[in-house]
Amino acid sequence: MKRENILRVSSGKKQNNSEIVYHGLAFCILAVLVLLCLPLSAAAGNDRQRERFILDFGDSHIRGQRGEAAPIFLKKALRRQHPWVNVSEYRLKKVVLVAKTKHGRGGAQLRVGPEVTGFYGVGGHPRSFNGNHRKSFDRVRIHNPFNQSWGPWQLLLRGNFKVRKVVLEVEKRRSHPSYRHGYQDRVVPRPHYGRRPGNHPIPQQQELYQGRIFVKMRW
């Protein structure tokens, strides 16, 4: 009887231990699955909020004059090619420039609001410059240096370019942009660059609206 009781107790302990191990493994597997699903759901949420707009430039030949960069006005092109889009409802996340340069020494900058990125090299070769094969075009990704995204969106091209398209990756704003901390709310005096006859300084021109001084910007 004692031996049977001991066997029963030992078998009961083994069964309890196996159940504990089983439940522990199940909990670990469930925790791993939850951790794996969290970034996927977050990425899916971000993908739902982000949109892409393709601006077609039809292999346009763009070249700066006298060493100056040639600008591409992205907001203007977006309004022209996608007139139903309200640009003020979006933040720019990044730009993909599909273009090529004649000698592979050209560069592109992205200007958003008051911020400008450094130059990003754009490849190319003289032999394929006049061709239209898709592999002859370089693809350059430039991230937005100014997350608020108000102000101008411009690509500044320095060199001899052919531009096929520009892809804008944007994100829907939760609310309309506030310019409270932007250029429009700052009292910025405009400099004068000379004096009138009689040694009188040229008065600075300012635009007044509801008690605020606004500075005109080129969009």
Tens digits of residue pLDDT in 64-90: 887 789 999 999 999 999 999 999 999
| 55 and 144 part of one domain | yes
Residue 2 lies inside a defined structural domain of this protein? no
Distance CA 136, CA 122 (A): 11
Which residue type occupies 103?
A: H
pLDDT (0 to 100) of residue 66? 78
| 146 and 99 part of one domain | yes
pLDDT (0 to 100) of residue 214? 39
10, two tokens: 């030992």
Domain of 117 in residue numbering reads as 50-172
| 107 and 137 part of one domain | yes
For residues 210 and 168, which has the higher predicted lDDT (pLDDT)?
168
Sign of CA dihedral 145, 154, 88, 190: positive
Distance CA 169, CA 54 (A): 9
| 64 and 158 part of one domain | yes
Give the number of domains in the chain: 2
Judge whether residue 187 has pLDDT over 50: no
Residue 92 lies inside a defined structural domain of this protein? yes
CATH, residue 103: 2.60.120
pLDDT (0 to 100) of residue 132? 92
Judge whether residue 58 has pLDDT over 80: yes
| 103 and 150 part of one domain | yes
For residues 33 and 124, which has the higher predicted lDDT (pLDDT)?
124
Beta bridge partners of 60: 163
75, two tokens: 């907001």
| 108 and 193 part of one domain | no
| 115 and 200 part of one domain | no
| 56 and 162 part of one domain | yes
Residue 54 lies inside a defined structural domain of this protein? yes
pLDDT (0 to 100) of residue 193? 38
pLDDT (0 to 100) of residue 175? 64
Residue 150 lies inside a defined structural domain of this protein? yes
| 193 and 151 part of one domain | no
